Amino acid sequence: MAYKISPDLQMRMRSAAATQPLRIIVRHRELPAFMSSAAHALRAGEIAIRRQYRLVSATAMEVSVSHIETLIQDDTVEYIWPDLPVHTCLDVSVPRIRAPQIWNLGLRGEGIRIAILDTGIDSQHPDFAGRIAAMTSFVGGDGSDDNGHGTHVAGIAAGSGAASNGRFRGVAPAASLYIAKVLDASGDGLMSNVMAGIEWAVNQDVHVINLSLGGDTPGDGTDALSTLCDQVVRQLGIVICVAAGNNGPDNSTIGAPGVARRVITVGAADDTDHVAQFSSRGPTLDGRIKPDIVFPGTGIVSARASNARVGRPTQPYYAELSGTSMATPHATGAVALLLQANPNLKPEDVKRALLGGALDLNEMPTAQGSGRGDLLAAYQRAMRPLPTQPEEVATENWWGQLRRMLSNIW
């Protein structure tokens, strides 16, 4: 009966105790026959069904090692695999947003200055060699990453993939990095530290700022941090990408600075192009649509700091993390490439190109914004002659956007 079990499941069973639960996928004969055969085990709680599939006769479940032996004897069971974790490496998420098509045009972020305000960076990581232009800290120390979050974020925006022969390459792999540590080793900080980091980044003359951070309290964008962000975008022409937060799926769960009007607020999409359950939803407390857009943000494999506290290591230099923090640097890298392609773009032009080129995921605007980011489509919009537009892109209220959406449908 061993032919019914995949070799990797056999190995896992040999190294596990009989009572240890394992996640498996069972391919079986037609569902009613299998369910009838498994009815006793289901009632006894020996099988916990997690998902049943329609296109193939298969069921994902959690069972003890000893019960797998019972399943093998079941005539309705045809084959059993382990239900293995999956992750979206940068070599999947970056092509999904069609960044390589932009690289093929000779654009990799050269000359674009990206500020990452986060937990710092592992400056010895090979993926950033020679491209960290400046580092500082507003929470003590020198900007070295004692958490791992900032290094991971920087890798998504601008990692070269040098430690993986180019496999785990970020969106803008030739951009320069300006690193401000504004979160401590636990990944926590204060708004005032972030504001100080933004002032520092402005003084470094960066083009785009990545904020994969935020507060938990839903806001209306009038707080000091959000106000500063809006001012930097409007008066200084610097693009700011902000994480929406991980407090979904409830509505109105976006805090500052994701509620700022002029920033690009980024939610997370999963590897099936649905908005991730955890991704925070709008509207803002004053009724505006947020997030503005979503980018891949589940199970992302990117650069791992040598002393990282967060993330599941996948290779010596890489780890997997999920969150809108991971979605946001996809947007930041995309902004870097658009600005390299067309240096005349103003922040509102960049935002309009990204939002206008987004792929509609057919989810609520308060979950997906304009949809999932598509860099090639945004590039095509960014290279068109720019029509005269109202100054602000994302201040339209909820009802205005809903009316516009409905008029498009009708």
By CB under 8 A, name the binding residues for other proteins. Answer: 118-119, 138, 147, 149, 183, 187-196, 198-199, 202, 212-217, 222-225, 227-228, 231-232, 243-246, 256, 310, 323-325, 328
Q: Say how far apart CA 281 and CA 273 lie, in whole Å.
A: 16
**Which lies closer to other proteins via its Cβ, residue 114 or residue 232?**
232
Q: Are 76 and 33 in contact (CB under 8 A)?
A: yes
How far apart (Å, rounded) are the C-alpha atoms in residues 80 and 93? 29
- With respect to other proteins, which residue has the nearer C-beta, 244 or 345? 244
Whole-number minimum distance, CB 293 to other proteins, in Å? 15
Residue among 119, 109, 183 at smallest CA distance from 154: 119
Active-site residues, by number, are 118, 149, 325
CB of 300 to other proteins, least distance (A): 13
In the bound complex, what is the minimum distance in angstroms from residue 219's beta carbon to other proteins? Answer: 9
CB of 243 to other proteins, least distance (A): 4
> What minimum distance in Å lies between the beta carbon of 41 and other proteins?
41
Residue with tokens 């979605």: 327
CA 66 – CA 83 distance, rounded (Å): 17
Task: Determine which helix (DSSP H) or strand (DSSP E) holds 303, and give its type and residue range.
Answer: strand 300-303
> Cα dihedral sign for 318, 281, 182, 261?
positive
- Closer to other proteins at the Cβ: 191 or 353? 191
Which two structure tokens, joined as six digits, stand for 303?
């650069």
Residue 90 or 117: which CB sits closer to other proteins?
117
Q: Which strand (E) or helix (H) includes residue 136?
A: strand 132-137
Question: Do residues 310 and 321 touch, judged by C-beta distance below 8 A?
Answer: yes
Measured from the CB atom, the residue of 148 and 371 that comes closer to other proteins is: 148
For 170, residues 6+ apart whose C-beta sits below 8 A from its C-beta are 90, 94, 127, 154, 155, 156, 157, 158, 159, 160, 161, 302, 329, 333
